[in-house]
Structure 1
Amino acid sequence: MWASISEGQRRSVLINAFLGALLGSINVSSVVIALPAILRGIGLSINTSIGFMIMAWIMFAYPLVMAITVALIGRLSDMYGRGRVFTIGDVVFTVSSLLLGLTPGYGTIAGFQLVAYRFIQGLGGAMMFGNSAALITDVFPPERRGVAQGIVGISFSAGSVLGLVIGGLLATINWRWVFLFNAPIGIVSIIWAYKSVYKLPAGFTRTKIDWIGASLLTLSLVLLLMGLMLSMTPYENSSLGWGNPMVWTLLGTGGALFIVLFIIEARITEPMLRVKLFRIRQFTYGVVSSLFLFLAQGANVFVLSLLLQAIYLPLHGIPYADTPLWAGIYLIPSSVANAIFAPIGGKLLNKFGARVVSTLGAVILAVSFELLTLLPITNFSYVWFAVILFIMGTGSGLFQSPNLVSILSAVPPTERSAASGLRSAMQNIGLLMSFAIFLTLVLTGASSTLVRSIYNALVSAGVPVSDAVRLTSIPPVYALFAAFLGYDPIRTMITQASISLPANVLSSIDQLSFFPSAIAPAMAVGFYYAYHAAAILAVIAAVFSYLRGREVFHHNTVETTQVAAITNVPEGINDPDPNYNNNGNPNIDIKSDPVLRKAYAAYLLMNTELGETVLSNITSKDLIYAIAITSKLPNWFIEFINNINEYNINMSVIESLTKYVNVPNWLMEVINGWLKINSLNSNNK
């Protein structure tokens, strides 16, 4: 498609993809920081089971729907057009944001409405994100894709920071504005998308929707997420729920259904999950390396935020209500580096290939996690912390855009949305799994001494032994989640324990420094466990990235060979013809000539909607030039064609010329198709 797209359309696609990714990223972090205000606004408390459940689903509904639906939406996009589905997703996202901001009611009813609308918002986000990368691959030539994907990658980093700032500020005014601020941006994006992206060529084929595959994928991921969420809640005398038989039942059933899904999808003719793409080595190793890298990124998203909000910031005088905002500000160096090096990674892609650049990025990320183990968790220098974060963002930026380009360039154009959907699904699954993995690592490392440390600190502050026992009987995970969401962990524990303490004792333990000082010695081991695990995951990502094989990216690379493999090539391609070799491919160096490249792309796409679009972008002057080159007419004639005015050539000239020169069979089919389209247009006029 990219050979027939104007520069203005490319810019429109890039801007729309950037805005879509930016809005989606903002709406993850802004909602997390605004959760206390949202729950207070609808009259729910995190200390109740229903409040905790609704809080969790408001957080996880959006990425869960993304993980469930992007593969199905990718398939639908390949069928009906990526631009159309992207624009419809923009509409769904904006409308659901309005519904979230205007949610009526109070209490549990309002909470369930918010969860439902977050599911719808996730569907809109999936329709945009599942197509943004594929659209960029469609409309940008190979040598420019890396930079374009890098620019979109900036939006994820910028959005995560902007979301914390926007959510923190708007939540102080009214929690509804956290969602309503999307509306004006969304309306502008919809209008722009409709005028440009929506009108991009439609899909290649029409096939049946694989509802069985979609249902199995949905059920398996829901069960897996429910099992992971249950694993993060206490069970009996344990701080976590891994001893709960229901956790393993949910995870085992979800995993089994996922395996069944792959078996079924590999055998049916029109699967929703394009399992056959995993036969492509470059695609498979790129997707798997992306999964492990996003698992490792959980240490950046969750572990470092927990470290800052539960320990470091309160020890330095930041109130718990303000820690989510300040944590976002403290983590800015990582986002800045990601924004700088994502486009740089795209440029290096053309010179060194995705295997080298992405592998280097994953290794740098692993090194940054190991460097974190050299810092104390309570009183480190922010300068060194910022330097390590910058290195972390550098690694992430270098990895993502080359890896994305490599994944999508390895698959046929008709499968790009499906491939992008699979990649997005794996990334979202990785992020969802990372929360449970790293919370488990942090608490496992601290489990032997954490409760004893809190108990000793409470008794030393004057809390009666009986009350200290009741307070420490509450699993520490509740206090950590409270700190992560901006609640005072000590007051949360006191409320859950339903105890009353003397004013002087309460004042002593309610100091900002009390809770972080009590848990820091025990938590240090847990944080170091998490850092080492993140480094190992990043190294695994680097290994898979390297195993994708040698890649060479040329500036003039064209993908007509991939298109030829998946379109209906007209009869006659194997006829004896001086312009063809034994494999049926032209002997002429088509890829070095943009006019011939466009004409040959039209030939390979004959009898498709996209083929008609390419044909309509070929001018009469282009056809005369193509006839001259392929028929090996004298150079003076080719020079003459280059200098004449387009309007001096009409259809009769082309028809006459084909009678007197030896036009290749493939170009003759293009000419006939072009004459047919232009004849219809002339009659309509």
Structure 2
Amino acid sequence: MLPGVRMFSAVAVLCLSAFVVMIDSTVVQVMVPALTVSFGAGLDDVLWVFNGFVIAYAALLITAGRLGGVHGPRRLLVAGLVVFALASLAGGLATALPQLVAARVAQGVGGAMIVPQTLTLIAAVFPAERRGTALGLVSATMALAAVLGPVGGGLIVTTWGWRWVFLINVPLCLAAVVLALRRLPPGATASGGELDWGGVVLIGTGLAVASYALLTPERLLWLVPAAVLVAVFALRQRGHRAPLMPPQVFRDRAFLVAGWVGAAQFGVLAGLMLLVSVRVQGELGGDAIDTGLALLPMAVAAGFASPVAGWLSDRIGGGPIMAAGMLALGAGAIGFALSTWGPAVAALAVAGLGVGLVMAPASTEAIRRLAPDLVPAASGVLNTARQAASLLGVAVIGGIAQQGPGALTTAATALTAVAVLSGLTALFLLSRHVSDDALTNRP
């Protein structure tokens, strides 16, 4: 573990790294009109600037998490930042749409290398009683980035042009590289060993196909071969001497419950953000920047609540906090759908409070009892589940939202039901888990 000042510097590096990835994953929607004009391309072609990033990112999270365990999370983080910087430079200088799509795929690769290492490094750098606070700060950064992407991106596109959305990443990534090399421990949790490359191909292909199917609803049947690939991967893992997903991870009840709650939160949040976009840009006649401004109270509330929730989870456990957060998220979703404009924005703030209460405790509880050498693989699994849930939330809610009058309320009701169910799960199962630990450790 590092001394206090170094730990503060370490979490600052991780916040900056997560911010760069998260803000670039949400900024593309405001660039679409500018890209169609700049390249003379249709909407379907331009959307691959978004899809290419998402598919590469989702496909590689599990592999990157395991690579962090084999070679060390700092090394993977720094390599990911370098890849992300070079890809951003290539995107900013692209003269044809295929070049930009390729750059976005490379950004997805870099992002997948970066994000799983944040949880691994927090587990390595921070003592158990302070991990929740550190994760709370990183989660607050990610929540703010998710909303600042459309708002800040819109301002940059309007003022300087779309290329600067990518070029501005270069100095940020380089600053993060320098700080990571100076402030993060070089060999934390590096275990060495081999990598199951057959498993890498199976899970990477399966997740890529699944992501493509969820991004393009007319190809949802592609989920069948994706499921087959994932099933073959799971069977391979059971007998492999160096599995990408060690079975010990899935024997821990807290990991399973916290992983489910965290994934549910990402799915509900993604669906809710889509509903906000549909209502603001449809019923209210706004644009993507107006959508970002409507979501700003949600981001502020999440940014405020996340460090507090992380601090509390270090002291009283994350189960009750996650339960309260999911209930607040569900209440905010249904409140947004049923309210006029002013109360609807207030409902989004309630939803943001819920997001902030869930994000850090979900990660903290998931790894609380795992051995250090299992955390890199667990981090890849958690982030993959959350990304898949986000895509699924958008696909399902998008389908419901197109069903005509009353569809908005129906979609919000579905989101609320998922939030309430996962909240109750967190309260019941994790409360029992804490009680079991107390009995086990009682003298």
TM-score, scaled relative to structure 1: 0.61
Greater length-normalized contact order (CA 8 Å, ≥ 6 residues apart) = 2
Whether the aligned pair in 2 keeps the contact of 1:262 and 1:275 (CA below 8 Å) is no
- Number of the residue aligned with 2:182: 195
* 8 Å CA contact retained: 2:271, 2:390: no
Aligned partner of residue 338 in structure 2, secondary structure: coil
Query: How far off its partner does 1:439 sit?
Result: 0.9
Counterpart residue number, 2:135? 149
Match of 1:550 in 2: 432
Q: Hey, what's the Cα distance between the residues in 1 that align with 2:135 and 2:10?
A: 11
In structure 1, what is the equivalent of residue 276 of structure 2? 304
SS of equivalent residue, structure 1 residue 266: helix
Q: 1:646-657 counterparts in 2 under 5 A?
A: none
Counterpart Cα distance in 2 of 1:193 and 1:386: 38
Alpha-carbon distance in structure 1 between the residues aligned to 2:86 and 2:246? 30
1:394 aligned onto 2:381: no
CA distance in structure 2 between the partners assigned to 1:145 and 1:202 by the alignment: 15
Task: Confirm or deny that 1:36 pairs with 2:22.
Answer: no
Q: Is the 8 A contact 1:352 1:552 kept in 2?
A: no
Instruction: Tell me which of 278, 288, 295 is aligned to 2:267.
Output: 295
CA contact (8 A) 1:285 1:544 kept: yes
- Preserved CA contact (<8 Å) 1:71 1:422: yes
Secondary structure, aligned partner of 1:400: helix
Select 1:65's aligned residue among 46, 56, 63: 56
The correspondence for 2:78, drawn from 87, 97, 119, is 87
Q: Which residue is 1:626 aligned to?
A: none
Is 1:262 the counterpart of 2:224? The answer is: no
Q: Does structure 2 conserve the Cα–Cα contact (< 8 Å) formed by 1:130 and 1:420?
A: yes
Q: Are 1:295 and 1:537, in contact at CA under 8 Å, matched by a contact in 2?
A: no
Q: Which letter does structure 1 place at the counterpart of 2:33?
A: P
Residue 114 of structure 2 is aligned to residue 114 of structure 1? no
Post-superposition offset of 1:268: 1.2
In the alignment, the residues of structure 2 paired with residue 540 and residue 266 of structure 1 have an alpha-carbon distance, to the nearest angstrom, of 31
* Alignment match, 1:56: 47
- The answer to whether the 8 Å contact 1:357/1:399 transfers is yes
2:341 corresponding residue in structure 1: 381
Asked whether the 8 Å contact 1:171–1:178 carries over to 2, the reply is: yes
Give the % identical residues: 26
State whether structure 2 residue 256 is matched by structure 1 residue 284. Answer: yes
2:162 to 171, 175, 178: 175
Q: Distance in 2 between matches of 1:551 and 1:350?
A: 15
Whether 1:369 and 2:333 are equivalent positions in the alignment is yes
Query: What secondary structure is seen at the aligned counterpart in 2 of 1:410?
Result: coil
2-structure distance, mates of 1:228, 1:161? 22
State the alpha-carbon separation in 2 of the partners of residues 229 and 74 from structure 1: 24
Indicate how the Cα distance of structure 1 residues 204 and 44 shifts in structure 2: closer, same or farther if over 3 A, else same: closer
Q: For residue 260 of structure 1, report the CA deviation from its aligned partner.
A: 1.8
Which residue identity does 2:9 align to in structure 1?
Answer: S
- 1:217 maps to 203
| In 2, Cα distance between equivalents of 1:229 and 1:141 | 39
1:162 pairs with 2:148: yes
Gap runs ≥5 in structure 1:
47-51, 105-109, 232-240, 447-521, 558-588, 590-685
Who is 1:247 aligned against? Answer: 220
Secondary structure at the counterpart of residue 213 of structure 1: helix
Q: 1:540: how far off?
A: 2.6
One-letter identity of the residue aligned with 2:67? L
Question: Alpha carbon RMSD of aligned pairs, Å?
Answer: 1.9
Runs of 5+ unmatched residues, structure 2: 438-442
Partner in structure 2 of residue 76 of structure 1:
67
- By percentage of residues, which structure has more helix? 2
User: Deviations along 1:243-267, whole A, 9 cap, x unmatched?
Assistant: xxx632x111111221221121122
Q: Give the conservation status (yes or no) of the 8 Å contact 1:101–1:177.
A: yes
**Structure 1 stretches of at least 4 aligned residues deviating more than 3 Å after TM superposition:** 548-553
TM-score, normalized by length of structure 2? 0.93
Shift of 1:227: 2.3
- Please say if residues 272 and 412 of structure 2, whose CA atoms lie closer than 8 Å, have aligned partners that are also in contact: no
1:549 positional shift = 4.7
Q: Residue 304 of structure 2 aligns with which residue? A: 340
**1:535 maps to what in 2?**
416
Q: Deviation of residue 155 (structure 1)? A: 1.0
Kindly indicate whether the alpha-carbon contact (under 8 Å) linking 1:66 and 1:123 is maintained by their aligned counterparts in 2. yes
The one-letter code of the counterpart of 1:269 is R
| Displacement after TM superposition at 1:551 (Å) | 5.0
1:243-642 equivalences under 5 Å are: 247-248=220-221, 250-312=222-284, 314=285, 318=286, 323-375=287-339, 380-382=340-342, 384-444=343-403, 446=404, 522=405, 525-546=406-427, 547-550=429-432, 552=434
Secondary structure of the corresponding residue to residue 331 of structure 1: helix
C-alpha deviations, 1:320-378, integer Å up to 9, x for none? xxx11111011111001101110111122133211111111111211222223422xxx
Alpha-carbon offset, residue 119 of structure 1: 1.3
Give secondary structure in 1 for the equivalent of 2:216.
Answer: helix
Q: How far off is 1:202 after superposition?
A: 4.5
Total equivalences in the alignment: 435
Residue 379 of structure 2: SS of its match in structure 1?
helix
- Output the CA distance in 1 between the equivalents of 2:216 and 2:84: 29
Offset of residue 542 of structure 1: 1.5
CA distance in 2, matches of 1:202, 1:292: 30
Map of 1:229 onto structure 2: 215
Deviations 1:302-323 (A, max 9, x none): 11112111221x1xxx5xxxx1
| Residues 1:144 and 1:247: Cα distance change in structure 2 (over 3 Å) | closer
Which residue in the other structure is 2:16 paired with?
Answer: 19
Q: CA deviation at 1:204?
A: 4.1
Contact 1:63 1:432 in 2 (8 A): no
| Partner Cα separation in structure 1 for residue 434 and residue 125 of structure 2 | 20
Residue of structure 2 equivalent to 1:186: 173
The one-letter code sitting in structure 2 at the alignment partner of 1:413 is P
Q: Which amino acid aligns with 1:264?
A: R
- C-alpha distance in 2 between matches for 1:544 and 1:423: 17
Whichever of the two has the greater Rg, that structure is: 1
Structure 1 residues 230 and 299, CA gap change in structure 2 (3 angstroms) = closer
Report what 2:440 is aligned to. Answer: none
Q: Could you give the per-residue CA deviations for residues 454-493 of structure 1, whole angstroms, max 9, x where no partner exists?
A: xxxxxxxxxxxxxxxxxxxxxxxxxxxxxxxxxxxxxxxx
Partner of 2:6: 9
* Aligned-partner residue type, residue 58 of structure 1: V
- CA distance in 2: counterparts of 1:86 and 1:226, whole angstroms: 26
Letter in 1 for 2:374: E
Q: Distance in 1 between matches of 2:137 and 2:126?
A: 13
How far, CA to CA, are the matches of 1:337 and 1:128 in structure 2?
26
**Equivalent residues of 1:355, 1:551 under 8 A apart:** no
Q: What displacement does 1:436 show? A: 1.1
Alpha-carbon spacing, 1:204–1:168, altered in 2? closer, same or farther (3 Å) = closer
Displacement of 1:98: 0.4
CA, structure 1 residues 247+164, in 2 after alignment: closer, same or farther (shift >3 Å)? Answer: closer
Output the CA distance in 2 between the equivalents of 1:288 and 1:56.
30
1:544 Cα deviation from its structure 2 partner: 3.3
| 3-state SS, counterpart of residue 199 of structure 2 | helix
